[in-house]
Structure 1
Amino acid sequence: MLSTRRDLFNSSIIDQLENLQNNTAPFDGRKAQKKNQVKRILLPINPNLEITEIAYRTLQAKGPALIFENPIGYNIPVLCNLFGTQERILMGMGENTIDSLKELGNLIAFLRKPSVPRNFRDFFNMAPKFTTILNMLTKKIKNAPCQEEIISGDKVDLNILPIMRCWPEDVAPLITWGLTVTKGLYKTRQNLGIYRQQILSKNETLIRWLPNRGGSLDFQEWLKIKNNKNKTFPVAVALGSDPATMLAAVTPIPNNISEYSFAGLLRKNKTEVVKCISSELEVPANSEIILEGFLNDKFAQEGPHGDHTGYYNEIEVFPVFTVTHITKRKNPLYHSTYTGKPIDEPAMIGSVLNELFIPILQKQFPEIIDFYLPPECCSYRMSVISIHKMYLGHARQLMISIWSILRQFMYIKFIIVCDNDIDIRNWKEVMWSLSTRVDPMRDTILIDNMPIDYLDFSSPKKGLGSKIGLTTTGATILLNLDTLPESILFYRQMLQWFGGMGIIVLALAILPMLGVGGMQLYKAEMPGPIKDNKMRPRIAETAKTLCTTAGFTTDKIVNWPTFLPILLIFASCIGSCSGSTGGGIKVIRMILLYLQGSKELKKLVHPNAIYSIKVNDHALSNKILKNIWGFFLAYILIFIVSALIIIATGVDYCSAFSSVAAALNNVGIGFGIVENNFSSLHNFAKWILILTMLFGRLEIFTLLILFTPTFWRK
């Protein structure tokens, strides 16, 4: 009873729960009970099936964590349902709301691909991250609580632990929340993973880890090069560690970061570790119980056991873990759970970790609006995505990328990509979009012989199966235009025609209605000398250029040689020919600037000579040349000022200059973060680019004239 053992609420795992909830220390554990986050059950309950049933019903009711103080046949209490609600999972991650996880997701994205500050704004924005990173260091201590009592040799007996048997056809009890610690022979950091363990005997368990998991990879490496020096592979299993460390073990952190380091980020304090009694491995110092031992080349059959899929898994062979030492607190707490048909604790954790994936994906794919892994689908076998679709085949390209960007996503069987008007968290809306926007032949992609979940019993071959992608975005882009009704084609062409007319419609139709003479505005649009001064021939020539308006796509810029993007930016600044609706300085102006420069060089050699600049055998006046130099200087000034403003919003130099060139020259192609689209830019930067697009589309002087009071004066 409680009076004969230490106060259970002094247990580190409960301490951490309450500390994270109140952000205070030290801890008075009884507050947790008052807030209905922890409930003690004094009645004797059997770990064989009974605890599972009570924990299952409590989780479905979104109830508190449960401490079974008197498990029948044992002196150690059992903690269940610790991660049974999103609220408690967030506590363990040091957050208050789901939305606050985005900042943590951004930190993970930064740690995956760290970047050097590009400007002062970046430096100040990154400063808090660098400060937080100091908590990634581990703190080694001695005399840890988890080593208050040491059991070794023949006295080792796993039967002292109230290990649960969760389902009627389970072959044996299972350790479910064991934090397994391993280290590769040539690795500098340790790996932490949650792997279930079937009890074989009083000092042996079976570790069920899948081939691509970190612990399994470390063990496979040892098997390949084992020798007399390395006869055994050391392993430690921590039971009842703090929530931050356990959640770090199941979070999709970068491979170059240890789970201990990430746990320090979560709790905003360094992770305390202690060296094992029997090996060099380090375990969480605040754990309740530690199992120390080794693996060798001994294997045995594991299963069947009820699994997170809602089925019993098949019998398979896994390595035998021999326990040589049990270290523990004087009055420990045994942390356990069950896995079964969703929703269970792993599914609840998955629903929270889903929010961490979004910033990681959006950094790589800015077009993603939302990303959702339904917990009912085992948290990883189906994903639903909403995007800003920008081109044909966009959804298909994104599906392929999602299956390969993170190791955790290789097991996704179904991907549904929706338009940005669909709430993908609302299954009714997803089903409506599937039924109204999908053509099965056009909008489905099937891929065979792909890696799938090892525990997916529906596949014909273990670990290998097929994947399917569905997109409801197919109806948003018109296909087979030639087959559309003539009314739609006519309307489409009219829109293109009016858009291409640009300055002509503005100068000859709209402004005269406002009492403004349009002729002088139209003249301002002309970049240089023209063949005929009459209006009708010029309109006819301009109309010819409108017919050729088109768009195009290219291979990704990153695949180009380095000099080509730079060359393209300069070429776009030169721009199109006279009379075209394209932007840029215009070719005729560049030719005249070149001729003017040549003229000045010749006059340095022959000061008394008289030179003239001719186009089509007509000498140009100095007034035209001055206008061209004025235009050139205005262009350069607008380009530089716009680029500096966008850089000030936190954009790198390459992206800033290429985005301004794309807008001012009306070419649409950007580099860097604007290669695919401009959605990642700050709203203020977008407004600046809209203004530069007007400068480019209407010609610089044309737009500047509109801001002069004398122009509007009748």
Structure 2
Amino acid sequence: MHTKIILKVLGILLMVFSLTLIPPFIISLIYHDGGSSDFAFSGLGLFSLGLLLWLPNRRERHDLKIRDGFLIVVMFWTVLGFAGAIPMYFASNIYISLTDAIFESFSGLTTTGATVINGLDALPHSMLWYRQQLQWLGGMGIIVLAVAILPMLGIGGMQLYRAEMPGPMKDTKLAPRISETAKALWYIYLGLTLACALGYWLAGMDWFDAFAHSFSTVAIGGFSTHDASIGHFDSVEIELIAMVFMFLAGINFALHFSAFRNLSARPYFGDPEFKIYALLIVIGILISSGYLLYREVYLSWEDALRYGAFQTVSIATTTGFANTDFTVWPAFVPVMLIMMTFIGGSAGSTAGGMKVIRFILLAKQGSREIRRLLHPNALMPVKLHGKAIPDRVIAAVWGFFSLYVVSFIIIMLLLMALGLDQITAFSTVAATINNLGPALGQASANYQSLSDPAKWILTFAMLLGRLEIFTLLVLFTASFWRK
């Protein structure tokens, strides 16, 4: 393990992150909300810390090994989560406890969207922008952004990319070089963000809200600048734009790249994961809207479809926006929507959950085992898109699923041991480990009322979900540290 290289990379990434405090600093100056000095000092402090890590190790030149990649990803997300809390905790124009600042920071960077802040409408503009920006940076992973410049510094980035990108198809690259892959991902990400902001602005948002909400829409984060979320605007046009971009952000970005490069929609319709992803959302919309109409929650099919469709897309893609309080609906719909987050979006997207591709492979493997009962000696490979899936991939998916279930149960039991009721414990774990945000029970409004120990446990669950279980838990094995 190359300790000096790891420290060098962390130093570079901290210095890069410190530069992201410039936009909220500028926003503070524009709106005169008194937060400019807080962001200035926080940025200088983080840059200085990064410089101290980088300077002694700047001449180190080694390729990153697999262990180095995993360690850097986990260390940086952890360090960055704590670093991101600094401007919130030391803000002179708001008060927030240390635990709440760390929770909010991790929630933003992991694109979870669970908040502990009351009164968002009264929050300073610079802090509102900062929260949204945290989600945007975390959406595709600030590490993937840094990978684009690491080769210029003499550091190979393939191990970082493989440790950071979600889903089982981690070796698939959009371009021959990893730096070109990272750039391609961010060009697509930036393009979607700008298009979303323009759509929001044309639909009636001011420029601040348009950009702020585009950050959390494309990142599938769910943070908003208003307590009522998207419902604050009470606009069908804005809700439609949000639905379109939430849906797009939940698709594998490799498909966006292929579609843009070929100027054709064929890559989408030829992809089995996209087909199931779209089908699940359509089925969810029909069930939720139909049930709301059947139970007379809404008396017209237009209202039932409007609210049912929006909440289905928002929750199923693990975004977490709201155009109404869905927690007061008949229990079947909120629980069904939260259950959909266990599947989440596509691999290679900004969505959370276990990912659609894993759901497909688990279903196919289950079907194969049933057929094997009738034909025990037959060779039955699991196929996807006409190609046989290696047994190693199937084993990895089952390993992920088992670790996911065990982690979920342990975290839920810990929360119940702290006094949370079953509904609150279940929904908060689902909302954090799937990077969703909104929960039921005691956390239906926000997470402020939860105890500090519960918030620390849920912060760990956010990180566990963002790094997709394996990347984090591998550090807890003896073999990882064994030479």
Under a length normalisation based on structure 1, what TM-score does the superposition of the two structures give?
0.30
Q: Which has the higher contact order (CA 8 A, sep 6+)?
A: 2
Return the index of the structure with the highest Cα Rg.
1
Q: Of Structure 1 and Structure 2, which has the larger fraction of its residues in helix?
A: 2
TM-score (norm 2): 0.43
